[in-house]
Amino acid sequence: MLHYCLAHIAYHFSRQLPKRNRAKFQILLVLLVTIFLSPQLFVLVRPRSSRYCDQPLLHNLTTFIIFTFLMTGFTFLLTLMDPMPCELKAAFHTFGVGSFLQGVLTTAFTIAAPQCVNTTPELYYLSLVLSVLSMLATVFIVPLIPFWLLNNFYPGMLLNPGSRAGICHRPVADCSCLWYV
């Protein structure tokens, strides 16, 4: 859920900026993605990472890197497109489910691989950090799911910007809703 959460946060930060300043935000995103991707690629190319480990941590890291590239694409699309097509929303939320499953697998593989700290320490510790970050992102996103569902099935009940009504209108009068994508 880490990738989905990061793209979701970037989307909401970009919506707080005027359209003419979003190019600067895109440059900042490139720097942040580079910082996020660098340790993953560093551990992937280390010769010690290819040593034997009972759990498929190296394959999981490769999948995590693929999800990072997908997150980068979604982040740029979400921050650039102002009226967002329904297809992009559906693809992004499907990506969120895949990101959740990736976080669960990363956590499960890391918990089951304490012996890998002796053979592949960098890979194990990176998997441990990514597992903790995935769990924290899940804790952040899961409470928003009921709001997304209510907003989908009963539009305007939570927030109706046109009529300035809804349960959540007062708390979010000056900022966008976290559950809205």
Taking phi first (over 0 means left), then psi (-120 to 50 degrees means alpha), and beta for anything else, what does residue 85 get? beta
Amino acid at 46: R
At 175 the pLDDT is 47
SS (H, E, C) 48-90: HHHCCCCCCHHHHHHHHHHHHHHHHHHHHHHHHCCCCCHHHHH
Supply the pLDDT for residue 107: 93
Distant-in-sequence, close-in-space partners of 158: CB < 8 Å, separation ≥ 6: 147, 150, 151, 166, 167, 168, 177, 179
Q: State pLDDT tens for residues 99-146.
A: 999 999 999 999 998 888 888 888 899 999 999 999 999 998 888 888
Residue spans of the chain under pLDDT 50: 167, 169-175, 179
131 neighbors 108 (Cβ within 8 angstroms): no
pLDDT, position 172: 47
What pTM was estimated for this model as a whole?
0.80
Return the pLDDT at 161.
Answer: 55
Tell me what pLDDT residue 174 has. 46
For residue 158, the tally of other CB atoms under 10 A from its CB is: 19
Q: What is the pLDDT of residue 95?
A: 94
